[in-house]
Amino acid sequence: MGAIYRPMAAELGDALHLSQPVRQITQDADGVTVRADDVIVRARRAIVAIPLAIASSIDYEPTLPVDRAFLHQRMPSGAVFKISIIYDEPFWRAEGLSGQSASPGSPATLTIDACTDTGDPGIMCVITEGPAARRLGKLDEAERKAVVIGELVDRLGSKANAYREFHEQNWTVERYSDGGMLSHAPTGVLTEFGYTLRERCGRVHWAGTESSAIMCGWIDGAIRSGERAAAEVMAAETAAVG
């Protein structure tokens, strides 16, 4: 992800405000006022790209259309652990293995080779979801390491024990995602309220991976949604000037 956000952050410079969660977005005939704890930004339009699960934590003035507000209420994020295990090298490649495996309900629901093309170091990504992630969250750190590494040993052999580093991210308790890695729609939500995923609300436009028609739930979808929302903003401003 650094390859994507670092150049953007460098170009934005002082215009980028970190650690400033938005509290309120107010619309009027001329633009929007975005308020955080220590920053107030005035603009012609706003793009909101936070997870649907926490989108209702912002106070919108005027209030959002009912169906959009209901969408926020009905698309929670799930329980997810994302774990990166660092090895000296991707030993599984030398054995002709892809590193990808799936075992629903286990402490390592999904494994993915997360190395670069150089293969140095070896990085195995483990994603654990749903009830298995909640069970994993109830263990202490040492127990989590033991059960996850045990899963890798079962699938990849004893070399999986010789890891260098173990990094875990419990998206379930992240305040500004409220779960991960995307909001999910229970039965009937998309057929009833899905049309609001990309429909702007006045001067507020929507982005985020859930709103992408391609690769929903992945970073590819998130980037596509940002490009789409930016194009909508530029088209709306051009129409207003014309």
On the question of pLDDT at 241 being above 90, the answer is no
Q: Do domains 21-76+202-241 and 80-173 have the same CATH topology?
A: no
Residues 121-157 pLDDT 10s: 999 999 999 999 999 999 999 999 999 999 999 999 9
Phi/psi of residue 196, nearest 5 degrees:
-85, -5
Question: What homologous superfamily does CATH list for 21-76+202-241?
Answer: FAD/NAD(P)-binding domain (3.50.50.60)
CATH architecture of 80-173: Alpha-Beta Complex (3.90)
Residues 180-225 pLDDT 10s: 888 889 999 999 999 999 999 999 999 999 999 999 988 999 999 9
- The amino acid present at 113, given as its one-letter code, is D
**Residue 184 or residue 158, greater confidence:** 158
Domain edges within the chain: 21-76+202-241, 80-173
Q: What pLDDT does residue 88 have?
A: 96
**Residue 241 or residue 188, greater confidence:** 188
Q: How confident is residue 120, by pLDDT bands cut at 50, 70 and 90?
A: confident
